[in-house]
Amino acid sequence: MSGGCLGAGSTIRTRIALVYGGVFLVLGALLLLVVNLLVRAGTDGQTEAIVARADGGGGVAVVEAYRIGDDVSRAANEQMLMWSCLSLLVIACGAVVVGWWTAGRVLRPVHEMTARARRLSERNLDERLAVRGPDDELKELGDTIDALLGRLEAAFDSQRRFIANASHELRTPLATQRAALQVGLDDDCEVREVRRILLDTNRHSERLLDGLLLLARGERGLAEREDVPFAEVVAEEYEDAAVAEHGVVRGSRVLLRQLVRNLVANAVVHNVPGGFVDVRVAGGVLTVVNTGPVVPPDDVEGLFEPFRRGEGRDRTGPGAGLGLSIVRSIAVAHGGSVTAVARGAEEGGGLVVTATLPVAVTRP
């Protein structure tokens, strides 16, 4: 365990011990004060009783009895007060020691969690604190940190995959351009064909960069929000959409249009000849159904990862593999979610994609 951890823990431990001893000292002093007042009142009463009994012996006897009783009472009170104070100081010191020991045992799991957390880095985020013991505040803290580590691990893994895929995607158009130029120089082919290939590759790169910017914008969240009639946005992107219920979504109209556009484009591009695309909106729920290749249920969630294309799409096709990942990013930025369900071969294949957004106002 590191020295810094011990230093911080010892400071808290000292404070707890001193507070424990100080509280005990104050309460003990109040208790002794009350006891001494009661004892003093009791001894004064006993002295008066002795004086009353000695009253029959004359004035001298009364004075002598009163003096003796008063001396005895004063001496007893002084002795009791002295020993009480000494006892209180000794017990207060014991309370500080007990507080120190108790604080050490209570803070021990904190030291262990701190030491384990210090050893963590992006290379071993799979490790967890795994706090054991009763279901108390310290275990709740450890479980919360473990959950945070899980989210960080997922984020780092996603970032690594994204960087690897983005590097591959960005190298692909460059390789295509280089190949076209080499063929043009070696075979002395027509310049028009080379220009067409380079132009198509350039457009693909532009779409890729636009998609990356939209993905980053969606994941960054929304700085400003406005009331957006969601059904109206859907109708602008797909005229044949069936509207069951109108709703107003608080968010960015530009990003919501991109969400609808990507879902519709994904359904159209992955459709099969003779198939269909069905778009329905009810409040803040947009459902897009299409026929297409049969997607294994286990592969559906992976379609929302960046640069993951469905069956029948290649690296040089019209898409950049960011459509559904952008859809999910925009939905999450609006406080919503996106799910997909694969349709079986007997249904014609394809997907049922549902984007659910929180609605500020709903009207029929």
Of residues 42 and 318, which shows the higher confidence score? 42
CA distances from 295 to 63, 238, 309, 312 (A): 113, 24, 11, 11
Inform me whether the pLDDT recorded for 311 exceeds 70: no
Q: Residue 327: which CATH number?
A: 3.30.565.10
Q: Percentage of the chain with pLDDT > 70?
A: 63
Alpha helix stretches (DSSP H) within the chain: 3-53, 59-119, 137-187, 191-220, 230-237, 253-269, 323-333
Domain endpoint, select from 86, 119, 152: 119
> Taking Cα atoms as reference points, which of 325, 331, 293 lies closest to residue 307?
325
Q: Classify strands 337-342 and 226-229 as parallel, antiparallel or unpaired.
A: unpaired
- If one counts every other C-beta atom within 10 angstroms of the C-beta of residue 267, the result is 24
Q: Does residue 220 sit within a domain?
A: no
Q: Does residue 195 sit within a domain?
A: no
Structural domain that includes position 238: 226-363
Q: Does residue 206 sit within a domain?
A: no
Domain endpoint, select from 119, 135, 161: 119
Q: What are phi and psi of 237, to 5 degrees?
A: -90, -25
Q: Does residue 142 sit within a domain?
A: no
Q: Does residue 173 sit within a domain?
A: no
Burial class (CB in 10 A: 0-12, 13-18, 19+), 253: middle
Q: Classify strands 277-282 and 285-290 as parallel, antiparallel or unpaired.
A: antiparallel
Q: Does residue 239 sit within a domain?
A: yes
Q: End-to-end CA distance of the chain, in Å?
A: 64
Q: Average pLDDT over the chain, rounded to whole?
A: 75
Q: Residues 2-30: pLDDT tens digits?
A: 444 444 445 777 888 888 788 888 888 88
Q: Classify strands 242-251 and 277-282 as parallel, antiparallel or unpaired.
A: parallel
Q: Does residue 194 sit within a domain?
A: no
- pLDDT tier, 37 (very low <50, low <70, confident <90, very high otherwise): confident
Residues 359 and 236 in one domain: yes
Inform me whether the pLDDT recorded for 106 exceeds 80: no
Number of domains within the chain: 2
Residue with tokens 């001298």: 60
Residues 115 and 230 in one domain: no
d(CA 167, CA 91): 70
Q: Does residue 338 sit within a domain?
A: yes
- If one counts every other C-beta atom within 10 angstroms of the C-beta of residue 251, the result is 26
Domain endpoint, select from 102, 119, 136: 119
User: Are 273 and 280 contacting, i.e. CB atoms less than 8 angstroms apart?
Assistant: no
Average pLDDT over residues 36-55: 63
Q: Residues 139-175: pLDDT tens digits?
A: 788 888 888 888 887 777 766 666 666 655 666 666 6
d(CA 32, CA 43): 16
Q: Is 321 left (phi over 0), alpha (psi -120 to 50) or beta?
A: left
Residue with tokens 């075979």: 187
Of residues 41 and 288, which shows the higher confidence score? 288
